[in-house]
Amino acid sequence: MSSGYSVAVVGAGAVGVEMLRVLRERNFPLKHLRVLARSDRQMTVDGETYEVRATTPEAFEGVQLALFAGTEGEKGAAVTFGPDAVRRGAVVIDNGKDFRMDPEVPLVVPEVNGADVERHRGIIANPNCSTVQLVHALKPIYDLSRVERIVVSTYQSISGSGAPAVREFDQQLQAAARGDAMPPYEQIPAQLVQNVLAGCWTFLENGYQDEEWKMVCETHKILHDDAIRITPTTVRVPVVAGHAESVYLETERKVTADEARRALAAFPGICLMDEPAPTEKNPHARTYPTPLDAAGRSDTYVGRVREDPTAPRGLLLWVVADNLRKGAAQNAVQIAEEVVRRNCLLR
């Protein structure tokens, strides 16, 4: 890496804040850092104050890497300002959904398909948070034997819907504690406190939710394998941070649980936590990941690795990650690191 790069973070919400944290934590070599949002103001993150400028085409002058925080389910600022940023010489890394399935735009999880950044034409897309942790955990097993079939059920935290939904969930918690009626459902379609919701996203004509279909299309694109049969179900759970996934997969040849554990433990960014039952050495052990284990951390956590006794080539995994970190902000910063490492900046 050179002495530093000019970086813009576009968005001052939850993901934008995490991007600032991750840039600092990973010691990304910064020459200049610019924070852009809807309007001029100051913001403080972990005791450090940032001058926020309004996002305009001219604000990208001199920027080499532009990290767009994006917003789940909405057209992000990258649609409006991304082309202007590229014309001014910035590589755009977009956390929104708008460019993910564009065949001209790489969709990247660096540990899985980092080389894809080399074919960018100015824009690189960050996958949906639930897809990121899924493909991250799949890749070491896929490298042992091609994955033919996936059935995945997600247990997704409310922070995936943004800060207003988190505030509404907190209001629901307070109302439930007081025994009051639930506040109006605005960001969340029903009571989430003491409940789980299997219909928090937009339903498509095929009966799936758009959040589910993203996992199908994005997994195919990232792994370069459209033949994988994928059946997803996405569920919102009363957790603030951290998505969990129950993953069933079938491989071309049998991969044993021990083989899978070894591959997972050796893979970059994977933390294997797979001793779910007490042992003589540690009779009080509970070694499988939970959203609390992943909250605020950067790894993808995998546990409950086991073979399916009813299917000769079936494996099951429990996968957990912080959706705002590995599922969004950190993956975007890792993409920026990959662009720098592979020397594929625009200037």
pLDDT tens sequence across 297-321: 999 999 999 999 999 999 999 999 9
pLDDT band at 73 (very low <50, low <70, confident <90, very high): very low
Catalytic residue among 129, 136, 200, 271: 129
Residue range 163-217, pLDDT digits in tens = 899 999 999 999 999 999 999 999 999 999 999 999 999 999 999 999 999 999 9
CATH number belonging to domain 131-323: 3.30.360.10
Q: Is the pLDDT of residue 239 over 90?
A: yes
Residue range 264-288, pLDDT digits in tens = 999 999 999 998 666 677 666 668 9
- Catalytic status, residue 271: no
pLDDT of residue 75: 62
Q: Quick one: average pLDDT of 230-259?
A: 98
80 contact partners, CB below 8 Å, separation of at least 6: none
- Catalytic status, residue 129: yes
For the chain, the average pLDDT equals 94
Largest CA distance in the chain: 64
Residue range 100-147, pLDDT digits in tens = 999 999 999 999 999 999 999 999 999 999 999 999 999 999 999 999
- Superfamily of domain 5-127+328-341, CATH level 4: NAD(P)-binding Rossmann-like Domain (3.40.50.720)
pLDDT band at 231 (very low <50, low <70, confident <90, very high): very high
Catalytic residue among 120, 136, 243, 271: 243
Would you kindly state where each structural domain of the chain is located, as residue ranges? Answer: 5-127+328-341, 131-323
